Amino acid sequence: MEREGSGPSSLLNGATPGNGSRPRDAADAAATIGKSFPGRRPAPATMVIFGAAGDLTKRLVVPALYNLVRGGKLPEGFAMIGIDRNDETTEAWRSNLTNMIQAFARAGGGERQALDEQAWSSLVNRMHYMRGDFTQAETYGRLEKLLNEQCGRQGGTGHVLFYLAVADRFFGPVIEQLGRAGLARQSETAWRRVIIEKPFGHDFASAEALNAQILKVLSEDQIYRIDHFLGKETVQNILVLRFANGIFEPLWNRDHIDHVQITAAETVGVEARGRFYEKTGALRDMVPNHLFQLLAMIAMEPPISFDADAVRAKKTELFQALHPISPENAVRGQYAAGVVLGKSVGDYRREADVAPDSGTETYVALKLGIDNWRWAGVPFYLRTGKYLSARTTEVAVQFRQAPYALFRDTPVERLPPNILMLRIQPDEGLSLSFSAKRPGADIEIDGVQMDFAYRDYFAPLASVGYETLIYDCLIGDATLFQRADAVEAGWRAVQGLIDAWAKTPAEDFPNYAAGPPLPIACSRAMGAHGCRSGPIIATRGAAHDRRAVLLSPFIPAQAGIQGHSLRPLGSRLRGNERREKRCIPFHMSHDLPCGASRCRASSRNGF
Ligand code: BG6
């Protein structure tokens, strides 16, 4: 069957222009590229959402559809059928969603916005509710009837996208029922696709078993395993940064990169998800999926095109080249009561549906190695946690030091490192830090920074992060979705650690007070790379020190550089302001000073 979206993924879609002269150029270029891939129009289709009354549907899927309608991206004949157990009418469901979308529009990025009534009514009038038990065959019989009616209205095409916004235990059963009812069968005029939410399995064996189960009903190209991190513009931008620019790729290897740090720090706790989180923990919840997606974007080999298979093959190869992670290279933490964003919060162990002696980690930091020619010997540090002091997701690529100090009095390692900092969220953008000479008779070196912020170049695009993913699925572009082998390879890489931690429960939990300074990391896992100052969370007793559950104030750019970016050309700093702005800490070494006097260096020419 032919795929509508045979061009490259939406990575190359046009960008929205901002104001000013440079944005125009950028927008023009993007539009040119976008135009060269026609055929990215979805055909009329019906989306069937299992879990219609759930949180995901309300908070993300429906708002994403609303944004797609506003952007003119949904096809005319689009319709939606919501299924859930609740005994609701279509009218009641629509009215609930209308209340929700009104609140969503009001919240709109911090600014009060009115609902786009026309867009919403055109969407909501195409939404139908069906009560049904996902595990019962009769539900699927009734669904078939509804789909046939819908197909008549859509000119007989019969394309259906099934969206599984349900608890993971239903993934297999729903797909089996779809298979038994014949609803997964495709024809020349009708594609059938299934979006599966995270978590896809809870370890390697369960992911493998789930793949085997669903692949009995569906072919791989019908399956769209979502990782919502790939819906983020800044994550997609990593590939553009690497492969649409000539300057980075020649440096993108073990000869020039010292190490990479990937951080996803959250200011939320487990919220109302104690039941899920208690059996999941930070490692399973974030690492083999979201953090590995960032890792793949940074570390994969260049694909031969942006075609789904080309990109996904390279990602899988990367995951397969990961060293199994050993417990010596990882630390775990669990939050205790503390203060986050000025609010007092309680112990993880006192959250609803959490055991009072819970051994579940809410923080994980680990060191990874990649066995290939490009990355052999380059450490990748990954960390993520709940209830930290600031919300930030970022990738810091630190380049090797200059090989030789021209400045005899200053050891080369005292020079500020070059760090390419990719800010995934919030404050989307990137920066490059480097050394510059302070004006004056002496040779004094300061770390400075060039900064690109999305908001300076592009008008904000209303997005909850699911728009691109739903749209790509409608056009049959699976580039941003997980293939079976990649999911399994991701789990395989963390399986040793999952097993080791299951065998040796942490004895020192809880071991960090909610709201520690950010980012944090473990000294032992960081090895030679920084984190030399004292721990903010001392482990209890020397025995634990051995396992290195020391979470130290860390590093780089976010902590040190934020607020120190170079000003736009032409703007002038005033008096004292100048001094403050330029006092840039040495990011990887907290025991190094940040004052100019200690940065001072003399060249061998005797300046
Ligand atoms: C989800 C995890 O997949 O991603 C959550 O289950 C986590 O625990 C969330 O909070 C983070 O996503 P984002 O987009 O808010 O960074």
CATH number for the region 233-459+489-605 comes to: 3.30.360.10
Query: Which atom of ligand 1 sits closest to the CA of residue 228?
Result: 14
330 has a pLDDT exceeding 50 = yes
Q: Take atom 12 of ligand 1 and give the residue whose Cα is closest.
A: 229
In percent, the amount of the chain with pLDDT more than 70 equals 75
Our mutation pick for probing the ligand 1 site, out of 285, 340, 360, 392, counting the most ligand atoms within 8 A of Cβ, is 285
Report how far ligand 1's centroid is from the alpha carbon of 278 (Å): 15
Say if residue 510 is preceded by a cis peptide, omega within 30 of 0: yes
For residue 381, which of 238, 262, 283, 258 has the smallest C-alpha distance? 262
376 has a pLDDT exceeding 70 = yes
542 has a pLDDT exceeding 90 = no
The predicted model scores a pTM of 0.82
197 CB within 6 A, ligand 1: no
Task: State how far the Cα of 72 lies from the Cα of 116, in Å rounded to an integer.
Answer: 13
Burial class (CB in 10 A: 0-12, 13-18, 19+), 444: middle
Confidence band for 537, pLDDT divided at 50, 70 and 90 = very low
pLDDT digits (tens, 9 = 90+) for 289-307: 999 999 999 999 999 998 9
Q: How many helices (H) and strands (E) does the chain have?
A: 20, 20
Average pLDDT on 367-394 reads 94
In the chain, which segments carry CATH 3.40.50.720?
8-197
pLDDT the model gives residue 11? 36
Considering only 181-190, 402-411, 576-585, which range has the smallest mean pLDDT? 576-585
pLDDT the model gives residue 273? 93
Task: State how far the Cα of 261 lies from the Cα of 556, in Å rounded to an integer.
Answer: 9
Entry field: residues in the chain: 607
59 CB within 6 A, ligand 1: no
User: What residues pair up with 131 in beta bridges, in sequence order?
Assistant: 84
Tell me the torsion sign for CA atoms 450, 456, 458, 463.
positive
In the chain, which segments carry CATH 3.30.360.10?
233-459+489-605
Query: Which atom of ligand 1 sits closest to the CA of residue 277?
Result: 8
For residue 140, which of 155, 158, 157, 162 has the smallest C-alpha distance? 162
394 CB within 6 A, ligand 1: no
71 has a pLDDT exceeding 80 = yes
Task: State how far the Cα of 231 lies from the Cα of 228, in Å rounded to an integer.
Answer: 5
pLDDT the model gives residue 533? 28
Task: Name the one residue in this structure whose structure tokens are 């933490």.
Answer: 333
Confidence band for 445, pLDDT divided at 50, 70 and 90 = confident
Structure tokens given for 362 = 């809410």
Q: Which residues are CB-neighbours of 367 under 8 A, at least 6 positions away?
A: 325, 329, 330, 379, 380, 381, 525, 526, 527
Structure tokens given for 446 = 């300061």
Task: State how far the Cα of 500 lies from the Cα of 539, in Å rounded to an integer.
Answer: 20
- Strand, helix or coil for residue 549: coil
Query: Which atom of ligand 1 sits closest to the CA of residue 391?
Result: 16
pLDDT the model gives residue 588? 26
Average pLDDT on 199-218 reads 97
User: Which has the higher per-residue pLDDT, 495 or 527?
Assistant: 495
Task: State how far the Cα of 209 lies from the Cα of 134, in Å rounded to an integer.
Answer: 20
Report how far ligand 1's centroid is from the alpha carbon of 268 (Å): 10
Q: 587 catalytic, yes or no?
A: no
Average pLDDT on 213-234 reads 96
Task: Name the one residue in this structure whose structure tokens are 């953090």.
Answer: 291
Structure tokens given for 168 = 């993971």
Considering only 220-234, 235-249, 458-472, which range has the smallest mean pLDDT? 458-472
**Side chain identity at 595, as an amino acid letter?**
G
Residue 48: its H or E element: strand 45-50
285 CB within 6 A, ligand 1: yes
- Find out whether 377 and 256 touch, Cβ atoms under 8 Å: no
Structure tokens given for 448 = 């400075």
CA atoms within 13 A on the CB side of 101: 23
488 CB within 6 A, ligand 1: no
Our mutation pick for probing the ligand 1 site, out of 60, 229, 387, counting the most ligand atoms within 8 A of Cβ, is 229
What CATH class does 8-197 carry? Answer: alpha beta
Q: Take atom 4 of ligand 1 and give the residue whose Cα is closest.
A: 286
Task: State how far the Cα of 385 lies from the Cα of 16, in Å rounded to an integer.
Answer: 33
Confidence band for 413, pLDDT divided at 50, 70 and 90 = low
pLDDT digits (tens, 9 = 90+) for 269-281: 999 899 999 999 9
357 has a pLDDT exceeding 80 = yes
Q: What is the DSSP letter of 288?
A: I
**Side chain identity at 409, as an amino acid letter?**
D
For residue 394, which of 433, 418, 423 has the smallest C-alpha distance? 423
266 CB within 6 A, ligand 1: yes
598 has a pLDDT exceeding 60 = no
pLDDT the model gives residue 405? 64
Report how far ligand 1's centroid is from the alpha carbon of 285 (Å): 8
- Find out whether 290 and 420 touch, Cβ atoms under 8 Å: no
For residue 432, which of 552, 573, 293, 587 has the smallest C-alpha distance? 587
Task: State how far the Cα of 279 lies from the Cα of 275, in Å rounded to an integer.
Answer: 7
pLDDT the model gives residue 599? 30
- Find out whether 159 and 2 touch, Cβ atoms under 8 Å: no
pLDDT the model gives residue 416? 79
Highest mean pLDDT pick, 43-52, 99-108, 508-517: 43-52
144 has a pLDDT exceeding 60 = yes
Confidence band for 157, pLDDT divided at 50, 70 and 90 = confident
Q: What is the CA radius of gyration of the chain?
A: 26
581 has a pLDDT exceeding 60 = no
**Mean pLDDT, the chain, whole residue set:** 80
24 has a pLDDT exceeding 70 = no
- Find out whether 340 and 514 touch, Cβ atoms under 8 Å: yes
